[in-house]
Chains A and B, each alone.
Chain A
Amino acid sequence: MTAAAAVIPLIIVIIIAHGLYKKVDVFSEFAEGAKENLKTCAELLPTLIALITAVGLFRASGAQELITDFLSGFFDRIGFPAECLPLALIRPVSGSGALAVYESLLEENGPDSFAGRVASVMLGSTETTFYTLAVYYGAVRIKNTRHTLAASLAGDMTGFIVSVLTVNIFFEQI
């Protein structure tokens, strides 16, 4: 995927060059922006500790295996990797929870396995739907959100299904 490999360097060059052209103090603004995200990262840590430990326990206890085994017959038949099911369930609800589940999945299956790739595409192409709704409508005290949730969840479902399809098309020989 050489095109994808070129995108990131290209974006970096454009941003820095445009910054220099507009006489932005590139280095101090960079440091300032990095500091802002450092704060975000520090705020993320307590949640991550709680959720990663909970997900780790769930895996160690054998509960995850029981559920995956139970469901894998059905999901394998429709071509959906059962390992990705916990990620699909938690993705719309909690961003840090999804991160915890994703990490545990990569550790177990490896990033270049079928499930690892599907999970990567899923994580990259969907958002924390419930959180977004709560923040946006909460800010303007809207109670009746009409069909917002239904449309958003349909989008998430589409994301899950299409991630299986695209991984099949790009990486598996069918």
Chain B
Amino acid sequence: MLTFIFSLLIIISIIAGAATGNLRELTEAVLNEPVNAVELCIYLCGGMCFWGGLMRVAEKSGLTEGLAKLFALILGGLFKDIDKQGRAFKAICMNITANLLGLGNAATPFGIEAMKALAEEEGAGDTATPSMVIFTVINTASLTLIPSTALSLRMKYGSADPIEIVPAVWITSAAALAVSVTLAVLPLSGKRKRGKKL
């Protein structure tokens, strides 16, 4: 996929550059943009390391696990089919907590563990189970409390108030999550009810 995007962008750029007479600008971009990329990486690195360090403290102190228990209350209603004491449900709660805290590195391993445990508990073949659909959909929505990447870059480009967007981010994430989870659950609940009648 990235090969496609990368090649397409470069080919279109060179054709468009030649057509509009921007070849000089193109050459300048080739020389400057890789430097920009390194600069960007260094810029993001500080914040990423700081939050990574802080979140590891939260993990070690058991704060993350405590939060996961809290979320179990809310999540129980969504994952009706699975054992609330089981490995899958615990991994789901940890994954969602890690996501919320912006612990991308921790969230993915928990997510994969949850999927594997779900596959075992629900005996999935090559078709996704209802819990898998709901869980994956939750993970494709952004649950982050602090959108740290956007904040760092806003600061880099001299925003007067980088964090002013945070409330808008929360509302937008919540709306996107509500829509995708509803669309994930609705087709399933219809089938569940029909299944019971039969």
Contacts and interface: CB of A to CB of B under 8 A. Distances in A.
A71 interface: no
B20 to A, nearest CB: 4
Contacts of A152: 136-137, 140-141, 180
Contact of B176 (A51, A52, A126): A126
A148 B171 contact: no
Contacts of B111: 135-136
Contacts, number: 363
B2 A34 contact: no
B160 to A, nearest CB: 6
Interface centre among A48, A57, A103, A150 (most CB of B within 10 A): A57
Contact of A159 (B17, B115, B150, B176): B176
Interface of A: 1, 3-5, 7-8, 11-12, 14-16, 18-19, 21-22, 24, 26, 29-38, 40-41, 44-45, 47-63, 66, 90, 93-94, 97, 99-100, 102-103, 106-107, 110-112, 116-117, 120-130, 132-133, 135-137, 139-148, 150-152, 154-156, 158-159, 162-163, 166-167, 169-171
Given A11-B146, A57-B10, A136-B139, A62 B56 contact: no
B5 A94 contact: yes
Binding site secondary structure of chain A: helix
Nearest to A66: B16
B128 A137 contact: yes
Nearest to A159: B176
B87 interface: no
Contact of A124 (B20, B150, B156): B150
8 contacts: A19-B61, A29-B56, A40-B52, A57-B14, A111-B153, A147-B133, A148-B136, A148-B140
Contacts of A121: 150, 165, 168-169, 172
B75 interface: no
B189 interface: no
B165 A124 contact: yes
Given A94-B2, A126-B176, A162-B175, A117 B165 contact: yes
A156 B112 CA distance: 22
A33 to B, nearest CB: 3
